[in-house]
Chain A
């Protein structure tokens, strides 16, 4: 398990995003299927398009700063994903990137703080809270477990699954009322993929 003093560099952050892109691509059909049950059947495609652009952007504009990697990735998601997911996942990464700033190496504790800031910004932008059946249901318990990456990935996965019995209060799924119950939230499922990728590259 990673300790508080382990340091991470820009290459680590880029590797995380690349692993996230791989996970999103591998699971795109499942994400779309989840979105089809309570949304509009496009989440997988939109996330795949966004993360493919993120990887391409990082290859083209190599970043030395840990924050720079996240800022570039966040901007790319905002300008390629669309829907609510673009601004929300984009804000998660941009705000975390802003927190890390120009640092070329950061500790796991600093990375945790930055991701907490990102998750706070998502909550503020979307006006959602824990239990609203959104990506926050995966993100909030996960960042609380950091810097234990394995526990964070497990918490995100459990958080996503825990959205199944919930009734959606935000986003397009909310229009279904009680009929949103019984389905996993696609945004939470995507967030869990990101945390799973983070665990994978931390090992």
Chain B
């Protein structure tokens, strides 16, 4: 597979050099693989630190900026960053009001962030942690590492980021993050597996007439394969999987993210979003807000995920609050 790279070992560092060149408002440490808000630490503001394996751009580094994250730690492709990066990030963004760590639920991310949280506390910095586990495709959580953190992470970072930007204290920001995480559900499908730079070929082979259901964002195969379906059928199946998981059904306003995995054109994605909204409508639900685009990707994987977040008026207000990051910008 051809790639626009200088070599697999350099992919992450090269991307960070590019971010530094494109976004002078951010501090990019290419060696330590950290992206930090240029004005950090903001005095009296809770610092939001997230991070994870690279390959999901714009998540997380692309969400660093006003109204969202204060710092992102970039791991190797699909590999959690290490505790050193997280402690350095926390130190860089601590403005006296403590630090919130936003962690996607993967064994590696959780282990590394837990180690980091202990070290940060040892430095005398107050730390809270929220783990995002929104992927409804993982059904028997007792026999797995639990649900994966996927598209719902965007909701958590945006909502908690808005609360922190308004000056809310750590306990309140952490509570907003928890409510966002608990209200989020995601389900993804793949039409083609992603190609990691290290491997150079797709991490799973999907025949042209097959669809992979319940995929994650790391090129791990999904739970089930079926004959390829049309957009309307995929949307129905996705919406059913999401709504079934809310039990009695989501209450209150709903945020809807129709998210591209990196290799699906926006033309298809908007068409698919129309089907998602139609499918929701047929079940009596109108999303309060929609977002469509590539936000939580898996390299060049073709396919999409739908994330819903059940909110209240307060969270909806935080969703509408201004944000200015490379990956998400509005109202500012």
> Which residues from chain A sit less than 8 Å from chain B, CB to CB?
32, 36, 38-42, 45-46, 49, 78-88, 125-126, 167-177, 179
Contacts and interface: CB of A to CB of B under 8 A. Distances in A.
A80 B216 CA distance: 24
A45 B220 contact: no
B148 A175 contact: yes
Contact of A175 (B80, B84, B138): B138
Contacts of B216: 172, 175
Contacts, number: 111
Contacts of A88: 111
A81 B83 CA distance: 11
Interface residue SS majority, chain A = helix
Closest 3 CB pairs of A and B: A174-B144, A83-B108, A84-B108
A41 B198 contact: yes
A179 B223 contact: yes
Contact of A177 (B84, B111, B140, B218): B140
Interface string B186-226: 00000000001011000110000000000010111101000
A168 B223 CA distance: 13
A42 B223 contact: no
21 contacts: A32-B199, A40-B78, A40-B218, A41-B203, A41-B219, A42-B198, A82-B75, A83-B80, A84-B106, A84-B107, A84-B111, A86-B80, A86-B108, A86-B111, A125-B111, A171-B145, A175-B137, A175-B144, A175-B220, A177-B140, A177-B144
B108 A169 contact: no
A172 B107 contact: yes
Contacts of A177: 140, 143-144, 223
Interface of B: 8, 53, 75-84, 106-108, 111-112, 115, 137-138, 140, 143-145, 148, 196, 198-199, 203-204, 216, 218-221, 223
A87 B115 contact: yes
B108 A42 contact: no
Contacts of A125: 111
Contacts of B148: 175
A39 B220 contact: yes
Contacts of B77: 42
Contacts of B8: 45
A175 B78 CA distance: 15
Nearest to A168: B144
A42 B82 contact: no
A170 B145 contact: yes
A85 B76 CA distance: 13
Contacts of A175: 137-138, 144-145, 148, 216, 220, 223
A45 to B, nearest CB: 5
A156 B244 CA distance: 44
A176 B108 CA distance: 17
Contacts of A79: 82-84
Nearest to A39: B220
B107 A170 contact: yes
B203 A82 contact: no
A86 B107 CA distance: 11
A179 B107 contact: no
Instruction: Tell which of A46, A80, A85, A168 has the most Cβ of chain B within 10 Å.
Output: A46
A10 to B, nearest CB: 25
A145 B210 CA distance: 47
A83 B79 contact: yes
A82 B108 contact: yes
A65 to B, nearest CB: 24
Given A46-B76, A79-B82, A175-B223, A41 B145 contact: no
B145 A87 contact: no
A86 B137 CA distance: 27
A22 B198 CA distance: 19
Contact of A46 (B79, B203, B218): B79
Contacts of B111: 84, 86-88, 125-126
B82 A80 contact: yes
A82 B75 CA distance: 7
Contacts of B79: 40, 42, 46, 81-83
B134 to A, nearest CB: 14
Contacts of B107: 84, 126, 170-172
Contact of B82 (A86, A168, A169, A170): A86
A176 B196 contact: no
Contact of A82 (B112, B144, B145, B221): B112
A78 B115 contact: yes
B80 A82 contact: yes
Contacts of A32: 198-199
